Amino acid sequence: MSRSWFPSAYIHLLVVELAPLYVMIASMYSAIKERGAAKFYTWIRNHRSGLFAELDHLGDFAVKDCGKAAFERMIWTGMLKFECGDKSDGTFVEHTVFVSPFEGNFRSWALARAVCLLDWYVFFMCAGTVACCIFLLWRTGERSFNSAGYVAFTWNLEQSKRYNVMVLLAASGPIISGIYILIFVLFFTEDEPGRGIGLLDMIFQLGLVAYPAKLLLIPATPIHHWTMDHFAGIHFKRKWWCMFTQSNDAFGVIIVDALWRAKHGHFEKLDKLLNPRDTEAFLLAAGKMQDEEDSEEDPLVLSILKDLSPVMRNDTATESSESEV
């Protein structure tokens, strides 16, 4: 697996670093389907003499499945169309509410239309965020997720205003929809059966929306301003499965721990992270960065970096004196 051509950095970025974005979208998607199915079920049961009177004999699960399918179709195509019942026994009912959320009177099924447009907005913003991250990574020229430059890229990406604005815009849709659904369940479903279970489910779904949004907007970045220029050509030793399981924030904690040990003269853990030819270059780069860091932002890391160069020099000097003897 060559570092020069295999795009492991892109795989890691898409699979691991942007994973909270996918969880947030999936949670919103699931919540809308579940809430839409519940609303359709309530509407069917409260309008027994209307268009869907033929469905009165269907079980609860069949009606809810019909609602889920309709809202899932609406999310992807924009068309709200109910297809319920069975054609073989003459109970099949097909009804198209709207072909597009822009069609007809917006006051008719206004909530469904608004949800559809909100979904499209969220998908568009998430796709834009992913595309922006890929483009910014492409501009760096980094391809290997082992590269120290790629690690620094993801840390700096999380601090960039462009990234934060796009993530905030993408997260606003799921957060707003989740809060609305929770309020609706709390105050407008008193008479629905199974309300308690539905409420717990909505709280869980809201948590699945809010927590990934928090990870994206407030990342736990251990080192704040490491620039890629300082780490040109330096590569860490990371297991191949870390490409799918370990974020660079989590890897940063390991780096800081290795630096802390190296500060006290124990280079074993740092040697496991770096090739011998890269260790000295990494420590020299870390020493240069101490002059560019704001000491008030991360005093722990700075104190480690400040003491690393003397430790390295003393260790090197000791080896030199021993060789001369």
Residue 13 has pLDDT above 90, yes or no: yes
37-52 pLDDT, tens digit per residue, is 767 667 666 655 455 6
119-133 pLDDT, tens digit per residue, is 888 889 889 999 999
Confidence label for 55 from pLDDT (cuts 50, 70 and 90): low
pLDDT at 57: 67
Task: Identify the residue whose tokens are 């690393």.
Answer: 308
Closest listed residue to residue 68, CA positions, set 109, 39, 47: 39
Contact 8, 146 (CB under 8 A): yes
Which pTM was predicted? 0.75
End-to-end CA distance of the chain: 43
Residue 137 has pLDDT above 90, yes or no: yes
Confidence label for 173 from pLDDT (cuts 50, 70 and 90): confident
**What average pLDDT does the segment 193-220 reach?**
70
Q: Which residues of 164-181 are buried (b: 16+ CB within 10 A; e: fewer)?
A: bebbebbbebbbebbeeb
Contact 139, 27 (CB under 8 A): no
Q: Which residues of 288-304 are buried (b: 16+ CB within 10 A; e: fewer)?
A: ebbeebeeeebeebbeb
Least confident of 232-236, 252-256, 280-284: 280-284
Q: Can you read off the two tokens belonging to residue 137?
A: 């990574």
Beta bridge partners of 82: 95
Residue 133 or residue 231, greater confidence: 133
In degrees, rounded to 5, the angle at the alpha carbon of residue 34 between the alpha carbons of residues 32 and 38 is 115
Phi-psi region of 141 (alpha: psi -120 to 50; beta: other; left: phi over 0): left
Residue 264 or residue 11, greater confidence: 11
β strands within the chain, DSSP E: 80-84, 93-98
Cα–Cα distance, 40 to 34 (Å, whole number): 10
pLDDT at 134: 95
**What average pLDDT does the segment 211-239 reach?**
73
pLDDT at 122: 85
Q: Can you read off the two tokens belonging to residue 246?
A: 């370990």
> Residue 265: exposed, middle, or buried by beta-carbon count in 10 A (0-12, 13-18, 19+)?
exposed
Q: What is the percent of the chain with per-residue pLDDT over 70, rounded to a whole number?
A: 69
Listed in sequence order, the residues at least 6 apart from 160 whose beta carbon sits closer than 8 Å to its beta carbon are none
Residue 190 has pLDDT above 60, yes or no: no
Cα–Cα distance, 150 to 321 (Å, whole number): 37
Least confident of 22-26, 79-83, 169-173, 189-193: 189-193
Count of residues for the chain?
325
Averaged pLDDT score across all residues of the chain: 76
Residue 305 or residue 261, greater confidence: 261
Listed in sequence order, the residues at least 6 apart from 304 whose beta carbon sits closer than 8 Å to its beta carbon are 256, 259, 260, 262, 263
**321, containing H or E segment:** helix 299-324
pLDDT at 246: 92
